[in-house]
Structure 1
Amino acid sequence: MSNSVRVAYLPLVDACILIAAKELGSAADQGIDLVLERETSWANVRDRIAIGHVDAAHMLAPMPIAANLRLTPFDTEVIAPMALGLGGNAITISQTLRQEAGFSEAVTAPGEAGATLRRAVANGGERKLRIGVVHRHSAHNLELRYWLAASGVDPDRDCEIVILPPPLMPDALAKDQVDAFCVGEPWNSVAVSTGAGAILTTKNLIWASSPEKVLGVHSEWARKNDGLLKALVRSLYGAAKWCSDPANADALQKMLAQPRYLGIDETVVAQALSGPAGYEPFDRAATFPWQSHAMWFYTQMVRWGMVEHTAPGLDLARRTYRPDLYRDALREFDAVVPSSSMKVEGALTSSVPVGAIGGELVLGPDGFFDGKVFDPDKVEDYLKSQARGA
C-alpha cells in the first residue's frame, strides 16, 4: 500500500500546519509521503477532492457539511477528523468606503463597526454594498451574514455578496470593484500593506475561538486508509504545536513566504501571523473538530436558505465532524484532548480550565459579539431566534 497522501491547499496562513508537517518532516516521521498541491480557489479544492484527484484538503469549515448535504456539484462524502486552527480571517474595507462612512483606521469592535455600516447603508440610497467572500459555503460568508444581520444590515437587501478567490481580494479592493471583503490572512495584511484597505473588524471579535478551516478527507479514502489517516492527524497535531510556539515565529514566517507556498513578502507574512486576525493553530483545542461547530454552521445554512432544516440533515451535519477519529489517532501520542464532542457555543466569557483526556485543557473565551449562545441541544429554539434578514 502506498504511503503517499495528496492534500490540496490554498495559499493562506492557516495552511501552515500542513506546510510545517511537510517542511519539518513530522509527516515523514509518521511514515507519510505528504504531497501538497497548491490550488487557486475553493471551488477547485472542492471539485478535486470530489473526483479523487486528492485524498484530503485544507478546507473551509462548512464545506464538508455542504458536500454531505448534497449542496455541491458532485455527490461526495467528506469527513472532517481535525480542525486546522481558530480565527484567522477579517473584514477589510476599501479606503473609499472608510472615508465615506467615517470609519476609524483602527480595528473596531463588531458592534460599533456594524452601527457605522448601518448608517452608511441608510445614507447610500439604492446602492448596495458589494462585499467579497471566498465561497458560499464558508465561515466567511456565514459569519459575515451573522454580523451584518445582528447589526441591522440585511445581507441580501442591502448588500451584494460576491465570490472571489482569496489572492484576488486585495486587487479587487484597490480598484473599488468591491467595497469590502472577508478573507483569511495574509490577504487582509496584503491589502493594508499596499494601502488598498483597512481592517475593520475580525472573525475573532465576531465569534471568539471559532473555527476557520478543517482537514477535509474523502470518506472512501478514509475507510480504506485508516492507518494513514491516523498518522496524518498525528503529524498535523505535532506541526500545529510547533506553529503555535512563539520561539518558531521567525522560522514559520520564512517557511510560509517561500514562492511555492504563499509567495509574498516575509514582512507581510509576519504581520499576518501577529496581527489582529488572531490565528491560533494549537491552543484552546484549536485542532479539535467540535460537533457543535458543525451544527452551528448548519443552522446558518438553514437561516440563509441554503438548505431546508430536517432532523436527518442536522444529524448528518453533526456526523461530518469526527472527534472520534481525532481521539483515536492521538490516543497514545501525549496529547490533551477534549472528553466531550459538543459544547454550548458562546457561553465562555473568559479562559476556563476544563477536564480532558490526557491532562487539563483551557478553553475560551468563545463568545458571539451580540451575546447570544448556541446550545446544540436546543437547535429548534435557536433556529426560531435567527431572523432571515436584519
Structure 2
Amino acid sequence: MTTRHAITAGFVPLLDSALLVVAREMGFAEEQGIALTLLRERSWASIRDRLAVRHIDVAHILGPMPIAGNLGLNVPAPDMIVPMALGLGGNAVTVSSALWQAMADKGATDDLDARGNGAALRAVIAARAGRPLRFGVVHPYSGHNYELRYWLAASGIDPDREIEIVVLPPPDMGDALAEHVIDGYCAGEPWNAFGVLRRGGHLATVKAAIWQSSPEKVLGVNARWGEANPEAMAALLVALHQASLWCARPDNRAALAVLLAQPAYVGRDVELLLPALSGKLPVGGGAVRSIDDFFVPNARAATFPWKSHALWFYTQMVRWRQIEHTAKHQHIAAETYRPDIYRAALKDLGIAMPSASAKVEGALTAATPVGSSGALTLGPDGFFDGGRFDPDDVDAYIAAQSAG
C-alpha cells in the first residue's frame, strides 16, 4: 500500500509497548499506509518532553499522564488526548528477599493475594523500627503510584507517613532493590521478572489482584497533531487494533517475546518476557503462579478508552493531594479520554464495542457478556477491598476516600 501518513511514536522499553512494536514489525501499520517510526526512551519524563517539543506525535504512555498534563500538573506537556488504550493490567509489586521473609513471618503467602499479603505488610510495618520502608514507582502520575497507594491504604497503611515512595525509571528498579536503595517497587514487565529472577526479589501481589481488568498504558496523542491529522490517527488506531489481535493469540507468544527482546525494543532476554505473556509468573524461591489476566492486550474491551478509567485516575490525584477537586478539573480529566474517536476509527471493522463511554468500576464479579448480541464480554473488574467507583458520583467517591 502507498504510504500516506508518517507517524513518529515514542515508547519506554516495557512489555506493554507491544502493540506499537507489532504494528510496525508485523506490517499492520504499513497495511494502513503508515510509515511508523518508533523512538525508544528510557523514562516517562523523556516521553513527556519529546511530546512537548513535537519530536514525537504519539506515545505509549502512562494512563494518568495525559490527564495530568491537561490539568497543568506535568509540565512541559502539550494538550493531549487518549483515543485508545494499549491493554489492561501488566504490573506487579516486587519486594526484597528480606522484606518478603518478614512478611512471610506475618502470614504472607505465594498466592499473590492482595488482602492477605497487604495485612502481612501492615504487620511488618507496625513492628518495624528505624527508617520507613521505601518503595519505588515509575512516575508520580502513574497507575503504579495509584494502585500501590490504593493497596497500601486499603490494607491499613498510610502511604504518606508509614512508607516512603520514590520515583525511578523502570529499568533501574531491580538494581535499586538489590543494592538496598529501595525495599520494594511497583512496575511493569519485564522488570518484576527481572527483579525476581536476576536480583533476588519476591512478588508480593499483582495489579490484577488489586484491581481486576484495570487500566495501564494508553496511546497518548498530541492534541494539535491529532486535530491536524485525523485520517492518520484513525489509520493508526486500526493498525493497533490489528496488532492487539495478533498479540492476544497464544500461539504468537513466543514470537512476540523474541520480537520484544530485540535491543531496539525492550532489549531483555526472552525468558524475562515470556512469564507476563503466558501469565505464569515467577514469584520467588522457584515458585510459579498462574495469573490468566495478568496482561490483557485485546479481550474485555482492553483497548477501549473508558472515561471511567480517566475519572478514577483523577480521583486518585485528588485523594493524594496532587490537585484540588473542582468541576472544571473533573471535566478536563473526563474529556482527555476520547472513546468517540475510537468508535469512529474502528466502526467499519465490525467489531463489538461498548455502547457506553463509562461504567461503574468494580461492579462486575465475573466475566459478563454485554450488549444486545452478547458479542462483547467485560470484567471481572473488582477491587480487592470490594470498593466501587461510580463515575456519575465522583463527589461521593472522593468524599469517602477523604473520610477513610
TM-score (norm 2): 0.93
Shift of 1:105: 6.2
Aligned residue runs from structure 1 range 21-170, under 5 A:
21-102=23-104, 104=108, 106-170=110-174
Residue 378 of structure 1: SS of its match in structure 2? helix
Q: Report if aligned partners of 1:105, 1:198 keep a CA contact under 8 Å in 2.
A: no
Summarize deviations over 1:144-179 as a string: whole Å, max 9, x none: 111111111100101110000001111111111100
CA distance in 1, matches of 2:385, 2:128: 25
CA distance in 2, matches of 1:266, 1:126: 40
CA distance in 2, matches of 1:101, 1:279: 26
Residue 350 of structure 2: SS of its match in structure 1? coil
Shift of 1:184: 0.2
1:285 and 2:301 matched: yes
CA distance in 2, matches of 1:212, 1:203: 9
Moved over 6 A (4+): none
Residue 90 of structure 1: SS of its match in structure 2? strand
Q: Report if aligned partners of 2:103, 2:117 keep a CA contact under 8 Å in 1.
A: no
Paired residue type of 1:282: N
Shift of 1:75: 5.0
1:340 and 2:342 matched: no
Summarize deviations over 1:224-274 as a string: whole Å, max 9, x none: 000000000000000001000111111111111111111111112112322
Residue 337 of structure 1: SS of its match in structure 2? coil
The residue number in structure 2 matching 1:379 is 394
The residue number in structure 1 matching 2:284 is none
The residue number in structure 2 matching 1:12 is 14
Aligned residue runs from structure 1 range 342-361, under 5 A:
342-355=358-371, 360-361=375-376
Paired residue type of 1:257: A
Choose from 190, 193, 208 the match for 1:189: 193
Residue 349 of structure 2: SS of its match in structure 1? coil
RMSD between superposed Cα atoms in Å: 1.5
Summarize deviations over 1:336-381 as a string: whole Å, max 9, x none: 211110000000000000017x871000000000001000111111
Aligned residue runs from structure 1 range 233-248, under 5 A:
233-248=237-252
Q: Report if aligned partners of 1:135, 1:141 keep a CA contact under 8 Å in 2.
A: yes
Larger mean Cα displacement after TM superposition, 358-367 or 311-320:
358-367
CA distance in 2, matches of 1:359, 1:100: 47
Which structure 1 segments of 5+ residues have no match?
none
Q: Report if aligned partners of 1:107, 1:199 keep a CA contact under 8 Å in 2.
A: no
The residue number in structure 2 matching 1:366 is 381
Summarize deviations over 1:197-224 as a string: whole Å, max 9, x none: 0111001110000010000000000000
Shift of 1:194: 1.2
CA distance in 1, matches of 2:277, 2:261: 11
Q: Report if aligned partners of 2:177, 2:199 keep a CA contact under 8 Å in 1.
A: no
Q: Report if aligned partners of 1:8, 1:39 keep a CA contact under 8 Å in 2.
A: yes
1:327 and 2:343 matched: yes
Identical residues among aligned pairs (%): 52
How many residue pairs end up in the alignment?
A: 388
Q: Report if aligned partners of 2:48, 2:77 keep a CA contact under 8 Å in 1.
A: no
Residue 295 of structure 2: SS of its match in structure 1? coil
Shift of 1:288: 0.2
Q: Report if aligned partners of 2:84, 2:338 keep a CA contact under 8 Å in 1.
A: yes
CA distance in 2, matches of 1:272, 1:348: 24
The residue number in structure 1 matching 2:228 is 224
Shift of 1:101: 3.0
Residue 374 of structure 1: SS of its match in structure 2? coil
Q: Report if aligned partners of 1:87, 1:212 keep a CA contact under 8 Å in 2.
A: yes
CA distance in 1, matches of 2:218, 2:32: 20
Shift of 1:98: 1.1
Residue 317 of structure 1: SS of its match in structure 2? helix
Summarize deviations over 1:43-82 as a string: whole Å, max 9, x none: 1001111111100000000000000000012252010000
Q: Report if aligned partners of 2:4, 2:34 keep a CA contact under 8 Å in 1.
A: no
Residue 118 of structure 1: SS of its match in structure 2? helix
CA distance in 2, matches of 1:150, 1:75: 32
Choose from 159, 178, 195 the match for 1:174: 178
Shift of 1:102: 2.4
TM-score (norm 1): 0.97
